Each structure stands twice: as C-alpha cells, then as structure tokens.
Amino acid sequence: HKAGTTVLEVDLARKMFGGLVAVNDMQFEVKAGEIVGLIGPNGAGKSTMFNLVTGLLPLTSGEIRFRVGNEMRRINGQSSRQIVRHGIARTFQHVKLIPDMSVLENVALGAHLRGLHGEIGGLAAAMVRGNRSEEQVLLFEARRQLERVGLGHLMYEEAGNLALGQQRILEIARALCCDPTLLLLDEPAAGLRYQEKQALAELLAKLRAEGMSVLIVEHDMDFVMNLVDRLVVMEFGTRISTGRPQEVRSDPAVLQAYLGG
Ligand code: ADP
Ligand code: MG
C-alpha cells in the first residue's frame, strides 16, 4: 500500500473479562510504512489489544478494520486464520522455539503461508499429510525470510544455540512467512543486550523502508522512542495519550501514569 494509507483502524474496541474492562473503547490507527508503539504500565491491556486485533479473543463491542486491497474490511468476528491471510502476523511475548531443531525448521514449522497452498498449518501439517511439494514451498519461503532478516548464515544451526536476540529475529522471520503487511510485536526487545536491541531496531527500520507497518509493544523507553513514528499510550485499558515520541514524552497524563504521581 502507498505510504500514509491507513491499514489498521481500531474503532472503540472494548474487551471485558467478567467485570474487568481490560480494553476500554480504544481508538487508534496504523498507516502503511509506519511503526507505532503501544506502551503503558503492566496490566494496561496491551497484550489483550493484540489478541483482539489477531482474532485470538472476541471483542465485547466496537470494531477493528484492516485494509484488504482497496477497502477497509471489518476483521473482528473473523478467525485468526482468516486474519493472518488478510496480512496481519504477530510474535508472542515469550519465544516458543523447538531448541533441538534447526533454525530453518523452526521457521518453516511456524510458517503459516497464505496463498501458496489451500490449507494453513505450516511444515508439520505438510509432513503429516505427506505432501512433499508443500514441504518444499515452506522450506523455500523460510529460507527466503531468514535471508531477509540476516539469519541466512545460521539456517542449519540448532535453534537452541542462538543468542536471545537472534531467537527474537527468528520469531520475526517466522511471522514474515505469512507475507504480512502489518506486523505485531509483543515486547521483542525484552531481556536483550544493547547490541541486540540495535540489530533489532535496524531490522525493523529496514522492514519499514520496504513498506511494512509495525505495531510494537515495548517497555524500553529509549528503544521505543528512537524507533517509532508514533506512540499510543494505554493505562487501565484506556488511551491516555497519542502522538509523536517528543509530544508524548512531555504529556502530563503520561508522566502521571509512569511516575504514579
Ligand atoms: P499488558 O499486556 O498491558 O500488561 P494485559 O492485556 O495482559 O496487559 O492485561 C490487561 C488486564 O486484563 C489485566 O488486568 C489482566 O489481568 C487482565 N486479563 C488479561 N487476560 C485475561 C484473561 N484471559 N482473563 C481475565 N483477565 C485477563
Ligand atoms: Mg503484555
């Protein structure tokens, strides 16, 4: 999509868990080729917001729309499989790798390809079905995405031997196999060393330059402030601020939420 076109629209999204309003009439958008940071204290509702966008949880009320070709389509109510096919892929807060399998197999296992074959399910499903050509397509795609993220040289390494920063990038390669236009990353920099954070930031900037949209949850303020184009700040399920990093940094509502003053 052309840079600046809206790709994701969250419109008064609400999620209740019993009596708890985990996401309270949230409203924001993400444009093509934009990195948006979703920040806020623990329990603010950030992961729940991701689960609503990716169809893992149903909305209590409101609407979420995503660009499919020329039109914005309502995606809430659709299955996560359908949503992945529309072009939204994610990573999870905790890395889920099979440590004694190769990097390549780990990426291919998690690769939920769109369009290349009828059924989504990745390498394991292809192997179970005994479908060799499907397997080859998945491995080819996994190789392509590993080269794209700069892990090509580690393809045949056991995944468990990778440093944490490389494992996080492996997770991104896995998500890229869905051929997404929007990538959702839940705390990708958590626990990483400074150099690893730099490498991650460089990769995300490269993906943005290729037109990718990214919505990222992150606690490291220096990392996020230097990376994103725009921020959305949540507290108790509610959007308390939004804007460019410089604007948000000096917003009294944000200072209050973070300093608890
Ligand atoms: P964050 O990712 O910003 O730390 P979460 O989205 O994980 O916050 O959680 C927001 C709120 O919703 C918290 O109070 C949390 O305890 C609650 N919550 C999250 N998931 C569930 C669930 N499946 N059932 C009940 N409460 C939940
Ligand atoms: Mg979370």
Query: Which ligand does the CA of 38 lie closest to?
Result: 1
- In angstroms, the CA 261 to CA 120 distance is 49
Residues 109 and 144 both lie in one domain: yes
Q: Tell which one of 42, 46, 48, 90 to mutate to probe ligand 1, the residue whose CB is within 8 A of the most ligand atoms.
A: 48
Ligand 1 pocket by C-beta < 6 Å: which residues? 17, 20, 22, 40, 42-48
- Domain containing 163: what range? 88-179
**Which ligand 1 atom minimizes the distance to the CA of 42?**
4
The 3-state DSSP class for residue 31 equals strand
22: CA distance to ligand 1 center in Å? 6
Which of 157, 179, 201 finishes a domain?
A: 179
Residues 3 and 120 both lie in one domain: no
47: CA distance to ligand 2 center in Å? 4
Q: Is residue 212 part of a domain?
A: no
13: CA distance to ligand 1 center in Å? 15
pLDDT tops 50 at residue 174:
yes
Task: Give nearest CA residue, ligand 1 atom 21.
Answer: 17
Q: What is the pTM of this model?
A: 0.92
Residues 170 and 64 both lie in one domain: no
Residues 68 and 120 both lie in one domain: no
Pick the range with the lowest mean pLDDT from 14-18, 86-90, 257-261: 257-261
Can you read off the two tokens belonging to residue 169?
A: 């990038």
Residues 97 and 174 both lie in one domain: yes
Q: In the prediction, which pLDDT does 62 show?
A: 98
Residues 6+ positions from 93 with CB-CB distance below 8 Å: 47, 186, 187, 190, 217
pLDDT in tens, 117-158: 444 455 666 666 667 777 888 899 999 999 999 999 999 999
Residues 114 and 232 both lie in one domain: no
pLDDT tops 60 at residue 68:
yes
Q: Is residue 203 part of a domain?
A: no
| pLDDT (average), residues 59-84 | 95
Residues 43 and 96 both lie in one domain: no
29: CA distance to ligand 1 center in Å? 22
What is the percentage of the chain residues whose pLDDT exceeds 70? 91
How many domains does the chain contain in total?
2
Residues 6+ positions from 235 with CB-CB distance below 8 Å: 40, 41, 44, 257
Number of neighbours of residue 199 by Cβ within 10 angstroms:
18
pLDDT in tens, 201-223: 999 999 999 999 999 999 999 99
As for the ipTM of the complex, it is: 0.99
Q: Is residue 131 part of a domain?
A: yes
Closest CA to 61 of 73, 46, 50, 77: 77
- In angstroms, the CA 52 to CA 66 distance is 13
Q: Is residue 199 part of a domain?
A: no
- In angstroms, the CA 54 to CA 88 distance is 7
How do 61-68 and 230-235 pair as beta strands?
unpaired
Q: Is residue 257 part of a domain?
A: yes
45: CA distance to ligand 2 center in Å? 7
Are the C-beta atoms of 141 and 111 separated by less than 8 Å? yes
Residues 188 and 225 both lie in one domain: yes
Q: Tell which one of 20, 92, 219 to mutate to probe ligand 1, the residue whose CB is within 8 A of the most ligand atoms.
A: 20
Residues 109 and 169 both lie in one domain: yes
**CATH number of the structural domain spanning residue 161:** 3.40.50.300
Q: Is residue 116 part of a domain?
A: yes
Q: Is residue 211 part of a domain?
A: no
Q: In the prediction, which pLDDT does 178 show?
A: 84
Q: Is residue 200 part of a domain?
A: no
